[in-house]
């Protein structure tokens, strides 16, 4: 299952970052996932909740922010956001000269840790 390996890598990165920040416990992990990754948020949450047991992230909440597909159209020089997974035409002008630059994200954007140094760290 695709989501299980993603959950595992989110956990590994978060634990590494937490230790680097001299934290001893992870309270919250916020991730940004572009819809083009075809990740099922519910499955990811389920996999994460299973993987976090017996780690310093055992009590951590996973917040999943799904990012829609977005891009920039060279035809009408505007940015657009779409709920569609595949975009064939610019939703604004219908042109085909555009670049997709959003929707492939798979990042940890915020980590809340407790321990020596409390507080949250933003990655954006
Ligand atoms: Zn356009």
Domain boundaries, the chain: 2-115
Q: How far does the centroid of ligand 1 lie from the alpha carbon of residue 83, in Å? A: 16
Show pLDDT as tens, one digit a residue, over the chain (124 residues). Answer: 599 999 999 999 999 999 998 999 999 999 999 999 999 999 999 999 999 999 999 999 999 999 999 999 999 999 999 988 889 999 999 999 999 999 999 999 999 999 865 566 666 5
**How many angstroms separate the CA atoms of 68 and 60, rounded?**
25
CB neighbourhood size of 11 (10 A):
21
Q: How far does the centroid of ligand 1 lie from the alpha carbon of residue 88, in Å? A: 11
Distance between alpha carbon 34 and the CA centroid of its chain, in Å? 7
Q: How far does the centroid of ligand 1 lie from the alpha carbon of residue 26, in Å? A: 43
Q: How far does the centroid of ligand 1 lie from the alpha carbon of residue 86, in Å? A: 15
Q: Which phi and psi (to 5°) does residue 45 adopt? A: -65, -45
pTM of the predicted structure, to 2 decimals: 0.83
Q: How far does the centroid of ligand 1 lie from the alpha carbon of residue 56, in Å? A: 47
- Please state which architecture CATH assigns to domain 2-115: 2-Layer Sandwich (3.30)
């Amino acid at each position: 299952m695709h989501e299980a390996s993603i959950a595992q890598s989110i956990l590994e990165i978060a634990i590494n970052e937490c230790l680097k920040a001299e934290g001893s416990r992870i309270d919250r992990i916020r991730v940004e996932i572009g819809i083009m990754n075809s990740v099922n948020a519910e499955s990811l949450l389920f996999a994460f909740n299973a993987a976090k047991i017996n780690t310093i992230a055992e009590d951590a909440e996973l917040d999943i922010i799904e990012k829609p597909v977005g891009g920039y159209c060279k035809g009408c020089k505007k940015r657009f956001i779409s709920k569609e997974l595949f975009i064939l035409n610019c939703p604004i002008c219908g042109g085909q000269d555009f670049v997709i630059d959003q929707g492939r994200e798979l990042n940890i954007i915020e980590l809340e840790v407790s321990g020596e140094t409390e507080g949250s760290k933003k990655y954006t």
